[in-house]
Amino acid sequence: MLETKLKKENMRSDIIFERLWNDYTALNPDVSAIYDAFVAAGETVINDHIAFRTLNHPRICIEKLSRVFLDAGYVEKGNYHFEAKKLVAKHYEKQDDPTAPRVFISHLLLEEFSDELQMNFNQLIDQIPKGFEDEKELIFSKDIFGTASFSIYEKLRKESEYAAWVYAFGFRANHFTVSVNHLKKFSTLGHVNDFLKSKGFRLNQSGGEIKGNPEELLEQSSTLAGLYNLQFTDGKHSIPGCYYEFALRYPDEEGNLYNGFIAKSADKIFESTDFYSK
Ligand code: NI
């Protein structure tokens, strides 16, 4: 009885982020190393946003993944369309807490891909237990599609690196993002990038190291996703996992810090998990 009652209660956002962070750092040792390097430099790391990837299927679309955050006090703020990548996204902010990380969720527009890709995903989604899409655990479910087949992964990747990533890694944080505004010793994103490179980390160069500019009110950079040795049905294969992002926001003409995202920049940031096209 108590268990059922607890399940129905809303999960606090700090608890949600802690669980996501623990999974994310366990999967990506580079992230912990970077986080520790900032702490060793005397910084307190605050998250600008956390991003998730999914598909526009009614059972697992943005609206399903965002539920747990809406229940925790988040509200929908921005809508984005990434034409080249064939995906749309929404961002959410916590109503009563401007220091809480923004939540960014994108989903792939399945109908813009081949019948085979759609059929593969429809079959996989049919295997998700009925009702699970409305559980709070959805956002933490990781390999929701079961152990991936490397041949399906490879086929998906030919059409969309994003689709292949979702298939292999499922629902978990795709990236956390350090708020450069909250760092005391790094006034520019260039300083942050130099610091990371001096520690031996590789940055995503697609579209230049820094995406966006002060006029757009948002600058972002990211590491290249670390390789992860994932267990597939036919053995282990090394594939790009998650990346760590860094964001510096600027105030608008009224002096309010810009809270949105720039579609053009995010388009390039998405490529942080795409080693194959380089
Ligand atoms: Ni991001």
pLDDT of residue 277: 52
Q: How far apart are the first and last CA of the chain?
A: 54
CB 183 within 8 A of CB 209: no
Q: Which two tokens stand for residue 13?
A: 């956002």
Question: What's the whole-number average pLDDT of the chain?
Answer: 92
Give the number of other CB atoms < 10 A from CB of residue 76. Answer: 16
**DSSP 8-state symbol, 87:** E
Q: Which residues surround ligand 1, an ion (CB under 5 A)?
A: 51, 245
Q: Which two tokens stand for residue 124?
A: 């996989």
Q: Which of 52, 55, 54 is nearest to 69 (CA)?
A: 52
Across the strands, what pairs with 55? Answer: 108
What are the distances in angstroms from CA 196 to CA 77, 117, 127, 199?
Answer: 31, 37, 42, 5
**DSSP 8-state symbol, 214:** G
277: Cβ contacts below 8 Å, ≥ 6 apart: 161, 271
What distance in angstroms lies between residue 275's CA and the mean position of ligand 1's atoms? 18
95 backbone dihedrals φ, ψ, rounded to 5°: -55, -50
Domain boundaries, the chain: 2-277
At 250 the three-state DSSP class reads coil
CB 242 within 8 A of CB 24: yes
Residue type at 111 in one-letter notation: E
Q: Is the pLDDT of residue 276 over 70?
A: no
Continuous segment of H or E residues that includes residue 228: strand 227-232
Radius of gyration of the chain (CA): 18
117 pLDDT band, cuts 50/70/90, is: very high
What distance in angstroms lies between residue 126's CA and the mean position of ligand 1's atoms? 30
1 pLDDT band, cuts 50/70/90, is: very low
What distance in angstroms lies between residue 152's CA and the mean position of ligand 1's atoms? 27
207 pLDDT band, cuts 50/70/90, is: confident
Q: Which two tokens stand for residue 211?
A: 């995406």
Quote the CA–CA distance of 161 and 232 in Å, as a whole number: 17
| Region 2-277: CATH code | 3.10.180.50
Quote the CA–CA distance of 134 and 267 in Å, as a whole number: 29
What distance in angstroms lies between residue 21's CA and the mean position of ligand 1's atoms? 15
**DSSP 8-state symbol, 276:** T
CB 70 within 8 A of CB 252: no
pLDDT mean over 50-61: 98
| Region of 104 on the Ramachandran plot (φ > 0 left; ψ -120 to 50 alpha; else beta) | beta
What distance in angstroms lies between residue 6's CA and the mean position of ligand 1's atoms? 32
Give the number of other CB atoms < 10 A from CB of residue 92. Answer: 23
Minimum mean pLDDT among 36-50, 124-138, 254-268: which range? 254-268
What distance in angstroms lies between residue 234's CA and the mean position of ligand 1's atoms? 32
Q: Which two tokens stand for residue 82?
A: 């990434």
**DSSP 8-state symbol, 134:** G
pLDDT tens-place string over residues 212-266: 999 999 999 999 998 999 999 999 999 999 999 999 999 999 999 999 998 776 7
pLDDT tens-place string over residues 136-193: 999 999 989 999 999 999 999 999 999 999 999 999 999 999 999 999 999 999 999 9
pLDDT mean over 34-56: 97
